[in-house]
Copies of this chain bind each other. A is one copy, B any other.
Amino acid sequence: MSGIFTIALDAMGGDHGAHVVVPAAVQALEAYPDIHLILVGDKARIGEELAACGKAPSDRLRLHHAGQVVGMDEPPSQALRNKKDSSMRVAINLVKHQQADACVSAGNTGALMATARYVLKTLPGIDRPAIITAIPSIKGHTHMLDLGANVDCTATHLYQFAVMGSELASAVDNIASPRVGLLNIGEEEIKGNDQVKEAARMLEASHLNYIGFVEGNDIYCGDVDVVVCDGFVGNVALKTSEGVARMVSHYMRNEFAGSLYSKLAALVAMPVLKSFRKRIDPRAYNGASLLGLQGVVIKSHGGADAVAFENAIRIARLEAQKRVPQRIDKRLEELLKEANQQ
């Protein structure tokens, strides 16, 4: 591949489909000279959006037809059975057949996970893939998994998440030994449920840089690189954070819109407020990885705009470049060898 990364994009997925994915692709090609993109979906539809951007297909921007689309509310099993020619599935197929190094979809999470798992398979030693994303923190960002793929997790699942999350953080952030924390409701040993307590024992005995239990507020403090939890808890934490951020913005807008003085103050404070908003812009964090598969699959938020989708492409490129699945695979092999020697 000589330093060129090819990324397949599900051009029909998400709330806005090609209308968002095509402009995002055009922007990404400009931003990253070392990527090639394949737009997968209805050729006519994609062609229209390309024309609207004043662009045409090229060596770096190819079109690949797919005749079906997975609905945003379509049950995963149905998508798996009936949508073999969907833009989502065909994009994943391109990864499987090594015609792409990664794929990105804004389509429905359940269908994407089920299809990716079916087509690409999990890595040997991984029972269940997990969803991981970077979350802004006071000092940078924190990787958190699982975010909703697995509602009930055993201690072994949590342990596997920790191994995968640690490898990903190490690869994409260039950290030798990422700090791994287990999300719990108290720092004392006595608290928490049975799975978490057992997972803590496994992590203490592992090669990982396990720093112990962390609480919800620690996700944002910047003193932990990888936060591990089950998918129910992780999803609630992520959505709750979105809710708080939205409420804070709402209050702030209201306050600055109040009196004439407030409105004038808003004008004066505008550059500062803009810079602040940029710092917490969720679009800069769009793009979650389906981790534990034999290939890079990135999930973009369904409602993502072109800026946000471009960020998901950036993450796909980074994970392909850093060979994240191969690194996890290698680490799992080492762990298996160690276990067999004991």
Contact = CB atoms under 8 A, between A and B. Distances in A.
A219 B240 contact: yes
Nearest to A220: B243
Interface centre among A192, A239, A246, A262 (most CB of B within 10 A): A239
B265 A272 contact: yes
A247 B136 contact: yes
Contact of A215 (B217, B219, B239, B279): B239
Interface stretch (A61-69, A200-208, A251-259): A251-259
Interface residues of A, number: 62
A243 B269 contact: no
Given A193-B152, A217-B243, A272 B248 contact: no
A137 interface: yes
A154 to B, nearest CB: 13
For the complex of A and B, list the 4 residue pairs with the smallest distance between their C-beta atoms, beginning with the closest.
A216-B239, A217-B243, A216-B240, A220-B243
A262 B251 contact: no
Contacts of A265: 268-269, 271-272
Interface stretch (A49-57, A83-91, A183-191, A286-294): A183-191
Interface string A129-167: 000000011100000000010011000000000000000
Contact of A137 (B217, B242, B247): B247
Contacts of A272: 255-256, 258, 261-262, 265-266, 269
Interface stretch (A3-11, A112-120, A229-237, A326-334): A229-237
A201 B198 CA distance: 31
A248 B190 CA distance: 32
Contact of A241 (B192, B216, B252): B216
A187 to B, nearest CB: 10
Contacts of A269: 256, 265-266, 268-269, 272
A333 to B, nearest CB: 32
A232 B185 contact: yes
Contacts of A261: 271-272
Interface in A259-291: 261-262, 264-266, 268-269, 271-273, 275-276, 279-280
A337 interface: no
A255 B236 contact: no
Given A138-B250, A248-B248, A250-B138, A242 B255 contact: no
A75 to B, nearest CB: 7
A245 B251 CA distance: 12
B216 A242 contact: yes
B247 A276 contact: no
A15 interface: no
A258 B271 CA distance: 11
B237 A237 contact: yes
A252 B271 CA distance: 12
A272 to B, nearest CB: 5
A80 to B, nearest CB: 14
Contacts of A255: 272-273, 275-276, 279
B252 A276 contact: yes
